[in-house]
Chains A and B, each alone.
Chain A
């Protein structure tokens, strides 16, 4: 069965530190890739997505992700985190033929001011 792995359950950083959250998926065919974020008390919202083209994708709030097909990875990065980035981050994948998203378990990010 297709799966999505997020390597870190909980990450704690100080403000201005760099962030990289790992995401690997197991499906070998055509995939669409997403990172969603859930801020405390808010609903899931899209950070960025990759469908095709340039494997380096820029999203909202300074986030970016790189699709590396050979590694089945779609890691999320931000060069300098802020306290307001404290949230839970979800990597998700869908296959080219099916719209339903397959999610990783999520990574909680805590940023210390």
Chain B
């Protein structure tokens, strides 16, 4: 079974540019989560999809971030325009829906974003 994949693995862009990150979850996993780790800080939740619907986007930093999950399969996270503080590692995770959030999230390798 293929794991969670993310593309690209690294991205270096200049401030003001746009970047789009992609996540392919494990097949059959309805839950898809985005997280971010800024250097030196903890991994923080950004948002949660159940199939194609946004279940919780309380962790999104601001309206420069836009996430989509068309058709309930892969997801994209677009940052437009990128700022210096957006640099970090963006993780995607997927899981099967569990009662009482008793689910195991499987993580992708992450996308390392550097905004110069």
Contacts and interface: CB of A to CB of B under 8 A. Distances in A.
Majority-rule SS of A interface residues: loop
A112 to B, nearest CB: 24
A30 B31 CA distance: 20
A85 to B, nearest CB: 19
A103 B102 contact: no
Report which residue of A94, A96, A98, A100 has the largest number of chain B beta carbons within 10 angstroms of its beta carbon: A100
Interface stretch (A20-28, A40-48, A74-82): A40-48
Nearest to B6: A43
A43 B100 contact: no
A36 B104 CA distance: 11
Given A44-B91, A90-B43, A103-B42, A98 B56 contact: yes
B40 to A, nearest CB: 8
Report which residue of A4, A43, A99 has the largest number of chain B beta carbons within 10 angstroms of its beta carbon: A99
Contacts of B48: 99-100
A101 B102 contact: no
A2 to B, nearest CB: 11
Given A43-B110, A100-B59, A101-B35, A32 B43 contact: no
B72 interface: no
Interface of A: 4, 30, 32, 36, 42-46, 49, 51-52, 90, 92, 94-106
18 contacts: A42-B109, A43-B109, A94-B101, A95-B101, A97-B100, A98-B101, A99-B48, A99-B55, A99-B98, A100-B48, A100-B56, A100-B59, A101-B35, A101-B105, A103-B35, A104-B42, A106-B42, A106-B43
List of 8 A-B pairs having minimum Cβ-Cβ separation, nearest first = A44-B107, A100-B45, A103-B43, A43-B109, A99-B101, A105-B42, A51-B102, A96-B100
